[in-house]
Amino acid sequence: MTELDQAWELALVEAKRRARAAGRADIADYLDLRAQNDLLRRTGIDWLTNTLISLAADANRAGAGISIEQADAHRFRRGSATMIGSKLILRRGVRALTVESGWPRTPRDGFVSGGGLAYATIKHFGRHRANAELLLAQSSNGVPQWLITERAGERSALTETQLRNHLSILLSEL
């Protein structure tokens, strides 16, 4: 958890305390929901990032030579909204696989369109057709799940196998 996330958590806890003390159960309930959604968001983003890092580490043990860079409190645009989260870059020579993931933190940042909790992009330097846009949603059993959003509006679940395919593109020769 970054310092920004820790500060946000403390601010939410204090806001909930003040709302309850003022008899504003509606605000306290909203803040509880926000905290639950933030946990789902962090869990989904951690899975996405950690899975790719693990796959890159496995490839490196086989001699792939992938460098791994991470940045927290990363800002990126999605339409008119600003997402705040993490950035992961896997590099192999001049090739790069970049994953940006996050969600709007304040009302002025906008919102995640499409009914999702968070947004992510997978970008292949020099191979734009292989890029993917992801939406984090809550499944029917309450578990966060990344969905690949197709241009036609269709959505399908992101799997570890598909992440392996993205890594394979990074490792493939042109």
Structure tokens at 108: 């002025």
Task: Give the residues across from 86 on adjacent strands.
Answer: 101
19 lies in some domain: no
CA neighbor of 41 nearest in space, from 152, 97, 119: 119
29 pLDDT tier (thresholds 50, 70, 90): confident
Output the CA torsion 121→113→155→130 (10° steps).
Answer: -20
Q: Is residue 60 included in any domain, yes or no?
A: yes
The most confident of the ranges 71-80, 108-117, 160-169 is 160-169
- Could you tell me if residue 57 is inside a domain? yes
Please classify residue 10 by burial: count the beta carbons closer than 10 Å to its beta carbon, then call 0-12 exposed, 13-18 middle and 19+ buried: exposed
In a domain, 77, yes or no: yes
The helix or strand, by DSSP H or E, that contains position 6, with its residue range, turns out to be helix 3-21
pLDDT tens-digit readout, 87-126 = 999 999 999 999 999 999 888 988 888 779 999 999 999 8
Number of independent structural domains in the chain? 1
- Inside any domain, residue 66: yes
Does residue 119 form part of some domain?
yes
Predicted confidence at residue 79, as pLDDT, reads 86
pLDDT in tens, 42-64: 999 999 999 999 999 999 999 99
Please give the average per-residue pLDDT across 149-162, as a whole number.
89
Name the band, by pLDDT with cuts 50, 70 and 90, for residue 2: low
- The structure's pTM equals 0.85
d(CA 115, CA 20): 29
In a domain, 16, yes or no: no
Identity of the residue numbered 61: R
Is 165 domain-assigned? yes
Indicate if the pLDDT at residue 174 is higher than 60: no
Can you give the residue range of the structural domain that contains 88?
47-171
Alpha helices in 77-118 (DSSP H): none
- What is the H or E stretch that residue 65 is in? none
* Helix ranges (DSSP H) in 22-173: 25-61, 160-171
